[in-house]
Structure formats: structure tokens, C-alpha cells
């Protein structure tokens, strides 16, 4: 059955979805260890008592051929039945889905839900022998900093010839050629001076956009990978920031462009000077102007060619590579975010992306087994996330985009992340279907660690997208309660605005606290605290309980905790959930929002308030 609003009428409570069979990769259903090749893994399926199955089978795919495994009834009570199937991990990534044999036919259960028809393998569940991201990512709250706009330390840095110096209190241009050269002078020492703010907010992981010398303030056009930009304070400033961050038991992640360099990069300069030299093999050349291939056809960003073995050694392979060097002391980065990772190593007939990702991961693990590798991929990252390369992805497709469409101001004219139309306003069913569509194509161990974001340095600000601070709270509620690693763009927590990625890179108004939205700051701080206090919100599975046009509700569950989250964008009819979700003899514990969950003899009544976020612990 598809997920949607099943209310009996405009004023009738919305019917719940908990009479559907369920499975995901969390601890209630799958052992939380990385299986070995050849191991037999017991996987569990929850079937509500209202279902009419005669048997449950599990379809696995072994060496590209389907096989059926019988599931045994393991336990039952008056509310549900649990089945267990023994799935052999014969291939490094083993896909499977359940078949429910029912009177009159059968239904498949996969990552998108149940289907009374045949479906492709794309949304099958997956077991993988590849180790997941480091465990600390389960608990992390990531804070993205665009260094030029975060904080100035007071150290004098003379602006380079390409830069247009800007007053700190003046908003940046949202469009035009000046966006890349408007120089505000934020530096790494300035970041170090503001660590108290990050601790007060509750974040524990800093992600810095690029820090290498360049001819722009975004620094994705690096002129060298051998040092830190002197405008940011140089190598000493990064070493000092790293030491200060780690002293506070926080982590620091860098940003690297494995796909391209800047046209001013030392490698590219040598390539132009000597077409027969080593560095000339690092790039793609063509007859058409400008004579070489640029990322997205931009001549300022010549694309790297990984057919060159020495490029691999210098860029990604081994402790002396760019990837390796900055993981080692004195910089000791805790991982990398890889810019346009989906395009790295891909050009025409070349497709080295997966090998590059594996090489980077091997390099990182040899230096720091706890380092994390996160890709940037704006659309369908599923084919690149089997688990052996990138640990996780910046989750635009399965989180940012669907949340925006549900909460966007209907009067908006903002572009929709690369699509030449305004952001569409869609209902809760469309949001959830999109989340499930994209999330179902990757292993759960990746889904659980995806970087969920309400925006970044490449997008409009969430405050501008939704308009209403109350809807910012709803968006933040989803950010901190759905599976994945929450990532916050610096300034969102105080209500900064921006209509484009460039315009959103607003300098932090440290000297003007009067413009801070302190209510939004407390919302973020409280929700971060809530997440830290609940293992179910950090590690639990996900069951969608209610999906209505203006509200969604879901359960996050571990073996020792069940949490109900309700998010609404406006008033709605409310819903009744099964009474047995609440521990016998207990009362719902309100964790956030303050509303009462109605406890009736045969149901739990969710109030139809909105817009708001409500969180209750049920068990």
C-alpha cells in the first residue's frame, strides 16, 4: 500500500499506517555488526496481527539470481507477529526483501513499503560486509563553517589583488560575478575564538569549507594543496584550531576538491608550460576552447584525470597524499567532505569514481580508522553508496529537497536547487514518498549516517525558504529526529537569511546580537539536547505512523526505547494510534513541545495542533 492520507473525512482523525508489515536495518531487525562474507545473518520482520499472511518468505539475490528463504514464526502476541529468516551473505552486498503469502495473492515488502505487485530490486534491503562509518557519527552534530564569513580574529591579512574587500556588516551579493571575490576576512583564528558558541549550541563536529589558497573566497579553485591559505592564517592557524577543537572533545572535518583544481594551481601551470611533462597527464585536454576540460564547463576549474598514476599518489593514495597529509599531525583532521564527489573520476568513457572512493577510504583508515569520508552529491547517490567507499552523503535528495517542498512558503519564487522552477509546495505524502524512494536504494548503515541538512553554503537559507519562524522549528524538528547525522549551516541557528547559496553566505553578526533570533537558537539548542538524551533518536529504526497532507508522525525505536515524533505545518484532524504502543501502566513522557498525548482505553490520540513539533517517549 502506498503511504498517504487515509482519513475518513476532513474532520475525522487520520488513519494510522501501523497495520503495515515493517523491516529496516536497525537493531530490532538486523544484528548491528558487520557480517563476514559467507556468514548467515538472522533478519527479523514485524507483521501486525491484522495481516492475513499464511507464510513469510525472504527473497535474496545470490550471484545475480533470486533465491527464496523461508522465514519462521519466532514470536507472537495479540498485537503482532515476528518472523526470522536466515540470510546468507554470499556477496559483498546482499540484497533481500520479504514476500507475504496472503489469500488471493502476495505482497512484497521492501524499503519503500508493501506492494501488491512485482517490483524492481532497486529498493531491496541490503546487508553489506563493508564496515560502516565510525560509530561517533551516530552521536555527532555537524556545524558547517564558511571561513571567510564566520569570524575575524583581528589579525591583519592584506587582501589579494583579486579580492573586493567588504565591510563585515554588509550583505554579500546573491548573484553576479562579484560573488566569488567579495572578501570579508574571516579566518581560522576567528573560528577558534568562537568555539564557546558552538559548545553552547551543542554541536561537536566542525566542517570547514576549503582552506587551501585560491583566487576566490569559496576556495574550490585551489592554487595548491600543500598549505593552508595565508588569508586564513596558514598552516599554524589550522594546527592551532585543530588542537583547540580536540581539547574540547570535538572533531574537525576538511573539504577537498578531488574532481578539479583551480586554473591557477601549480600543477596546471606546469601542465600549460610543458605539455609533455608529468602534470600535463593530470588533466583532460580538448581541441575546443579553452583547450582543456573544465568542471561544469568552467575554465577556472580544470578537471583532474585519474588515468595518471602519479596523480593518484599525490592526491589520494597513501600518507603523503593530499588526503593523507592533513589527517596527520599537526592538522589531525577527523575526515573529509569531498566536493562534487559524484563527478570525481567520471568523464566520457572514464568512470573511476568507486575506485577513487575506495582508495581514499583506505588511505584514511591506515592513518586514522575513525576518520569519516562524506561525499557531496545533489541528486541520486544510491549507485555510489554501496558502503565500500564514501561513508555517507550530503543528503539533499532524501532530506533537504522533500522537507523544503513540504514547508516552503507557497508564495516563494526561489529556485529549486538547480531546477529552473520555483520550489513546489507538496503534501506530506509526497515528502515521505520522496524520502523513502531515495533512502531505499542504499544500505541502512549508510542511511543512518547520511548528513541531513536544511541548507548549506550552496543553497538558500531555511528561514528564507519557509518564511515563518514556527516552520523553521518544524524543519529543525525533522532534522534532529529523523535517521541520519544532523548538519547545521552556521547562522541558521540564529535565523540568518539568504535567497541563493552565495547570498546565504552572510557574515555572522557577532557585534549585533540584537538581530539574532534567540527563540530559534533555543529551538536548535533544545532539539540538539533532546537528540543527545535519546538513543532511539540517534540509533533507532524508523516506522512511519501517520502521513497526512499537513502532518507526519513516526516512531524511532531501539530495544530499550520507543519515541513518537509528530511534525505539522498547520492545523490538521489529528490521529489515533494503537494503545499498545505505550508501555502498560505508563504515561507518555513529553520530551518536546509540551502538548498532551491523549491516552484512551483503546487508542493514543495525537492532537491536531500546528504548526509545531511534538516528541513523546512511549516505552
Catalytic residues: 339, 376
Pairing of strands 142-145, 205-208: parallel
What single-letter DSSP state applies at residue 294? B
CA dist 343 and 335 (Å) reads 20
425: left (phi over 0), alpha (psi -120 to 50) or beta: beta
Sequence-ordered list of residues with C-beta below 8 angstroms from that of 514, at least 6 positions apart, any chain? none
The Cα–Cα gap between 482 and 95 comes to 24
Cβ neighbours, 10 Å, residue 116: 12
H-type helices in 408-559, by residue range? Answer: 428-439, 444-447, 462-466, 469-481, 518-533, 535-539
Q: Calculate the dihedral angle through the C-alpha atoms of 129, 134, 140, 146, rounding to the nearest 10 degrees.
A: -100
CA–CA separation, 141 vs 488, rounded Å?
8
Contact yes or no for 353/258 (Cβ under 8 A): no
Beta bridge partners of 41: 87
- Count of other CB atoms within 10 angstroms of residue 136: 14
Are the C-beta atoms of residues 51 and 80 closer than 8 Å to each other? no
Quick one: cell of 466?
519557509
Q: Is the dihedral of CA 214, 220, 223, 229 positive or negative?
A: positive
Alpha helices per DSSP H over 440-491:
444-447, 462-466, 469-481
Amino acid at each position: 500500500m502506498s503511504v498517504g492520507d487515509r482519513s475518513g473525512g476532513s474532520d475525522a482523525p487520520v488513519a494510522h499506517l501501523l497495520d503495515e508489515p515493517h523491516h529496516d536495518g536497525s537493531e530490532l531487525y538486523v544484528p548491528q555488526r558487520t557480517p563476514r562474507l559467507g556468514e548467515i545473518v538472522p533478519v527479523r520482520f514485524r507483521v501486525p496481527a491484522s495481516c492475513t499472511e499464511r507464510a513469510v518468505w525472504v527473497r535474496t539475490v545470490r550471484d545475480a539470481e533470486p533465491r527464496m528463504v523461508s522465514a519462521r514464526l519466532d514470536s507472537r502476541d495479540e498485537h503482532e507477529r515476528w518472523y526470522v529468516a536466515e540470510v546468507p551473505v554470499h556477496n559483498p552486498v546482499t540484497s533481500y526483501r520479504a514476500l507475504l503469502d496472503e489469500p488471493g495473492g502476495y505482497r512484497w515488502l521492501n524499503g519503500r513499503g508493501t506492494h501488491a505487485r512485482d517490483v524492481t530490486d532497486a529498493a531491496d534491503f541490503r546487508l553489506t560486509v563493508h564496515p560502516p562509518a565510525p560509530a561517533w557519527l551516530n552521536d555527532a552534530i555537524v556545524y558547517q563553517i564558511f571561513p571567510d564569513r564566520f569570524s575575524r580574529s583581528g589579525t591583519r591579512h592584506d587582501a589579494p589583488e583579486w579580492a573586493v574587500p567588504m565591510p563585515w556588516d554588509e550583505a554579500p551579493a546573491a548573484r553576479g560575478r562579484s560573488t566569488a571575490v567579495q572578501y570579508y576576512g574571516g579566518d581560522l583564528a576567528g573560528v577558534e575564538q568562537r568555539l564557546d558558541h558552538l559548545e553552547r549550541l551543542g554541536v561537536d563536529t566542525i566542517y570547514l569549507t576549503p582552506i587551501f589558497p585560491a583566487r576566490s573566497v569559496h576556495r574550490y579553485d585551489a592554487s595548491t594543496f600543500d598549505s593552508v591559505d595565508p588569508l586564513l592564517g596558514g598552516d599554524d592557524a589550522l594546527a592551532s584550531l585543530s588542537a583547540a577543537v580536540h581539547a574540547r572533545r570535538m572533531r574537525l572535518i576538511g573539504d577537498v576538491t578531488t574532481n578539479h583544481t583551480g586554473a591557477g594551481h601549480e600543477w596546471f601551470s606546469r601542465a600549460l608550460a610543458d605539455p609533455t611533462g608529468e602534470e600535463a597527464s593530470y588533466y583532460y585536454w580538448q581541441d575546443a576552447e579553452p583547450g582543456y576540460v573544465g568542471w561544469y564547463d568552467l575554465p577556472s576549474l580544470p578537471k583532474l584525470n585519474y588515468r595518471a598514476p602519479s596523480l593518484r599518489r599525490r592526491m589520494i593514495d597513501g600518507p603523503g597524499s593530499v588526503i593523507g597529509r592533513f589527517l596527520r599531525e599537526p592538522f589531525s583532521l577527523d575526515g573529509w567532505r569531498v566536493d562534487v564527489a559524484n563527478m570525481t573520476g567520471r568523464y566520457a568513457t572514464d568512470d573511476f569514481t568507486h575506485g577513487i572512493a575506495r582508495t581514499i577510504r583506505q588511505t584514511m583508515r591506515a592513518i586514522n580508522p575513525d576518520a569519516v569520508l562524506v561525499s557531496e552529491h545533489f541528486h541520486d547517490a544510491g549507485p555510489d553508496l554501496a558502503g565500500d567507499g564514501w561513508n555517507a552523503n550530503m543528503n539533499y535528495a532524501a532530506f533537504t529537497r522533500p522537507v523544503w517542498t513540504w514547508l516552503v512558503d507557497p508564495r516563494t519564487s526561489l529556485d529549486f536547487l538547480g531546477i529552473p522552477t520555483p520550489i513546489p509546495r507538496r503534501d506530506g505524502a509526497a515528502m515521505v514518498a520522496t524520502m523513502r524512494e531515495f533512502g531505499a536504494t542504499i544500505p541502512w548503515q549508510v542511511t543512518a549516517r547520511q548528513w541531513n541538512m536544511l541548507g548549506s553554503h550552496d543553497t538558500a537559507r531555511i528561514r528564507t525558504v519557509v518564511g515563518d519562524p514556527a516552520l523553521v522549528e518544524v524543519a529543525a524538528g525533522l532534522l534532529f529526529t529523523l535517521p541520519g547525522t544532523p548538519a547545521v549551516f552556521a547562522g541558521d541557528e540564529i535565523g540568518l537569511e539568504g535567497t541563493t547559496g552565495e547570498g546565504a553566505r552572510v557574515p555572522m553578526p557577532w557585534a549585533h546580537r540584537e538581530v539574532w533570533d534567540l527563540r530559534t537558537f533555543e529551538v536548535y539548542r533544545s532539539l540538539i539536547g533532546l537528540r543527545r538524551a535519546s538513543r532511539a533518536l540517534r540509533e533507532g529504526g524508523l516506522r512511519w505512523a501517520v502521513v497526512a497532507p499537513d502532518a507526519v508522525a513516526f516512531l524511532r525505536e531501539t530495544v530499550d526505547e520507543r519515541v513518537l515524533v509528530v511534525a505539522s505545518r498547520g492545523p490538521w484532524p489529528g490521529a489515533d494510534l494503537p494503545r499498545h504502543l505505550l508501555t502498560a501502566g505508563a504515561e507518555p513522557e513529553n520530551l518536546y513541545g509540551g502538548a498532551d498525548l491523549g491516552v484512551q482505553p483503546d487508542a493514543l490520540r495525537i492532537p491536531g495542533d500546528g504548526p509545531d513539533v511534538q516528541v513523546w517517549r512511549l516505552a
